[in-house]
Structure 1
Amino acid sequence: MPTAIIADDEYLQREELRRMLQQAWPELTILAECEDGCDALDAIVAHQPDVAFLDIRMPGLSGLDVARVSNGKCNVVFVTAYDAYAIDAFNLAACDYLLKPIQNERLAQSVERVQARLSRGSKSEELLQMMDLVEKRLSEQSNKERLRWISASSGKSIQIFPIDEILFFESDTRYTRVVSASDEGLIRTAIKDLQKGLDPEQFWQINRGILVNMNAIARAHRDELGGIKVEIKGSKEQLKVSQTYAWRFKGN
């Protein structure tokens, strides 16, 4: 029986896609529903599904990141609301795409394409070849939405932090620390919401609660237990890298 996972940070979108897939592909078993890219990657490794339906923009790892790191382990169908810069690229690739809001007829076409690839025993071999083109278009769209500064509470005052001067963000269940070389403050914005306004090429997520400015990384090293930690310029703190993001620090 064919198997799949669904990854989308919006609950209603996941539920709607599951419902539509049950009608379009009754034989398909949904093994997991994930609300961010990290969970999606974990689900692909754990369940080895035949196909992954991945939203492009998700907290943690994006759908593109998940597809790249999973390295062709399953067929990929991207789900996107941004056709203006993505559709041409997807049409050149072995993978497929679904444009939100998903239409029944378009989903049926996508199911037929995936079924055909499964019958041939093929994966999305061309997926990695089209990543640069898609990401370039993503960047062009996202640059219009970037944060330039952040206002954070620092003691009894409000501190303005230019984005380029921030070393890292660190979240707990209530607050997010904003840390620069000379000061720090607190905001109530969660990491997943911050990511929407930050350049993913500049601010790397290294675990669920930390975004680090890659320009502020002095070095990365393994500790006595084999875990990876990064040292930050202008700070005595060492930040732990979770296994999900260890790929960022592997040598070529």
Structure 2
Amino acid sequence: MVSTVSYRFSRPIALLAALAAGPALADDAGELQALITADHRVAANIERNDARNPVETLQFFGLEKGMTVVEVLPGAGWYTEILAPFLRDNGTYYAAHFSANASLSYQPPALERFRQKLSANSEVYDQTRVTHLNPPAETEIAPAGSADLVLTFRNVHNWIMAGTQEEHFQSFYTALKPGGVLGVVEHRAPEGSSMEVMETTGYVTQAHTIELAEAAGFEFVEASEINANARDTADHPRGVWTLPPTLRLGDENRERYEAIGESDRMTLKFMKPQ
């Protein structure tokens, strides 16, 4: 089990909203607040909490105990550190990661590093179920119709760049139950941006993201500005990777980009029709 940690509520608005919604949600909010700074989390990941608003984001998507949740392409496990222990004893967490058979050279090693992270802390991650997403060969991220919630964080641009966006969204639709929710966080391009911009900068328009989800059969439910950043103009020399945490330009204009912070992001909720 996750070790007990003391935590001062730095985000009282989220907690007060949960209290107003009922005791179960308040308990969930309190546990999430504790988990985002728990001992098992990587220190560098904790430092990004203020930029990524994990408690508010997960509650906007409707995360609750007992759910079957799929996180799509969890990378190094930023959200895994929160979702896996939250669902460990009451719920099911699938981490739909890269495939060992992937053609892109960086993907199998990334999968192996993720597996090593899980095995290094079995008290937290022993119930995590790893599946693989490598369309068109591997698309079953969870048993069909089993998931209450599918989540993807800052991934849509990668699928657009690879030309696999339709297959990815269809796999989410297949995994979800009728009435299940798809939650999407993505770097936001100014509306009217061209496909060339979306294929090269890491930014995607909100309208195009909604279009992709609706083409797969989803209904758009709601957008939130939880992860908005008005300082981000989305026109940087190395695209979104110019900004933290990547800072691809190194020390060139570093203070300027650190002052902007992480990218402006859309936070979108979709539903698979009943």
TM-score (norm 1): 0.31
The structure where strand makes up a greater share of residues is: 1
Q: Which structure would you say has the larger Rg?
A: 1
TM-score (norm 2): 0.29
Of structures 1 and 2, the one with the larger relative CO (CA 8 A, separation 6+) is 2
